[in-house]
Amino acid sequence: MMEVVLKKGGEYQDCIVSYFGFDKYSQPSEEKVFFWGYHCLEDDYIKKQYSHIKNRIFLDTASPCAFLSSRNFLQNCKYFTKIYTICPWTADFLNANGVPSEAVCFPYPAEHFEKFNNINSEDKQYDCIYYGQIHDDYYFPMLRSISNFNYKYTTISNHGMNAEMSNLVTDKNLSTIAKWESIALSKSCVGINLLFPKNHSLNCQYYIDNYNMSDDLRHILTQPIMPQMKTRMVEAAACKTLMLIHKDEYNVIENWFKPDKHFLYWNDQAELTQILNDVKDNYHQYWDIVENAHQHVKQYSIFNFWSKINEQ
Going across the sheet that includes 82-85, the strands are 3-6, 32-36, 55-60, 82-85, 101-103
* pLDDT confidence of residue 10: 62
Q: Do domains 3-107+300-311 and 110-193+228-298 have the same CATH topology?
A: yes
Distances 159 to 136, 162, 204, 274 between C-alpha atoms, Å: 9, 9, 25, 28
* pLDDT confidence of residue 197: 85
* pLDDT confidence of residue 12: 67
* pLDDT confidence of residue 29: 93
Say if residues 286 and 279 touch (Cβ distance below 8 Å): yes
Give the domain ranges of the chain. 3-107+300-311, 110-193+228-298
Distances 74 to 70, 71, 101, 165 between C-alpha atoms, Å: 9, 8, 12, 39
Could you say which of 3.30.1330.10, 3.40.50.2000, 3.90.1300.10, 1.10.3720.10 is the CATH number of the domain covering 110-193+228-298?
3.40.50.2000
* pLDDT confidence of residue 111: 97
* pLDDT confidence of residue 9: 66
Say if residues 215 and 205 touch (Cβ distance below 8 Å): no
Q: Examine residue 64 and say whether the peptide bond preceding it is cis (omega within 30 degrees of 0).
A: yes
C-alpha–C-alpha distance, residues 73 and 36, integer Å: 15
CATH code, 3-107+300-311: 3.40.50
- pLDDT per residue, tens digit, the chain (312 aa), is 899 998 876 666 778 888 999 999 999 999 999 999 888 888 999 999 999 999 999 999 988 888 887 778 999 999 999 999 999 999 999 999 999 999 999 999 999 999 999 999 999 999 999 999 898 999 999 999 999 999 999 998 888 899 999 999 999 999 999 999 999 999 999 999 999 987 666 688 889 999 999 999 999 999 989 999 999 999 999 999 999 999 999 999 999 999 999 999 999 999 999 999 999 999 999 999 999 999 999 999 999 999 999 887
